[in-house]
Amino acid sequence: MTRGFYIGRFQPYHNGHQAVLERIAREVDEIVIGVGSAQLSHELLNPFTAGERVLMITRSLSEITCPFYVIPIEDIQRNALWVAHVRSMAPPFDRVYTSNPLVMRLFEEVGAEVHSPAMYERQTHSGTAIRERMLRGDGWEHLVPPAVVSVIREIDGVERLRQIARSD
Ligand code: ATP
Ligand code: MG
C-alpha cells in the first residue's frame, strides 16, 4: 500500500492542482491532501477558509477512483519542526509530491521520498493569477474545476475578496 502526500494552500484550488492529483492517483493507492495555512482566511492572499477549501477539493475529486483524505494543517512558524507537525495531523504516507522548494527541502532532510510533478500551464494556473483576475473582474472560471466555481458562488467568494481589498 502506497500513500502519497500533496500539500498546498489552495487559495483557490485550480486546474493545475487537479491535473497533478489526477496523475498522482494513477501512481499511488491512496492520497493524503494537506490544506496548508488552514487557520488563515478573509485576507488578500488567503481569502477562503479551510472548510471552504476542503469543499472545493472534495467536490472536484468526486470522480477519481483513488481514495483520498483532505486534512487541514495549521501553520506552526517553525520550519525545523514542520514535517513532524504534518505527520502528527495526517494519515501515514510514504511518498511526498511537491514542487515547492521549501516543502521539498524539509521532507528531504528527514529522508522522505520526494517527487516533483511537472507544472501544468503555470503562467495562468496559479492561485495568485486567479485571485488577481477575480479582483480585476476578469474571467477566472475556466481556470478551476466546475465544482470550485459553484463553491465560490455559494459563499460569494469574489465579493469577499473585493471587499477585503478595499481601504477604509
Ligand atoms: P499561490 O499563487 O497562491 O501560491 P499556487 O497556484 O502556487 O497558489 P498553492 O496552493 O500554493 O497554489 O500550491 C500547492 C502546490 O501546487 C504547490 O506545490 C505548487 O507548486 C503546486 N502548483 C501550483 N500551480 C500548479 C500548476 N499550474 N501545475 C502544477 N502544480 C502546481
Ligand atoms: Mg504557491
Please indicate, yes or no, whether the overall pTM of this predicted structure exceeds 0.85. yes
Can you tell me which atom of ligand 1 is nearest the CA of 36?
A: 10
Q: What is the largest CA-CA distance in the chain?
A: 54
pLDDT tens readout for residues 2-15 = 999 999 999 999 99
**Ligand 1 atom with least separation from CA of 126:** 6
Ligand nearest to the CA of 17: 1
Say if residues 28 and 75 touch (Cβ distance below 8 Å): no
Count of other CB atoms within 10 angstroms of residue 43:
12
Nearest-CA residue for ligand 1 atom 13 is: 8
Tell the CATH superfamily of the 3-165 domain: HUPs (3.40.50.620)
Mean pLDDT of 27-53: 98
Residue 119 — φ and ψ, nearest 5°? -75, 145
Does residue 10's CB lie within 6 angstroms of at least one atom of ligand 1?
A: yes
Distance 3 CA to ligand 2 centre (A): 23
Sequence ranges of the domains in the chain = 3-165
Residue 16 Cβ inside 6 Å of ligand 1? The answer reads yes
User: What pLDDT shows up at residue 77?
Assistant: 94
Please report the atom of ligand 1 found closest to the CA of residue 97.
Answer: 18
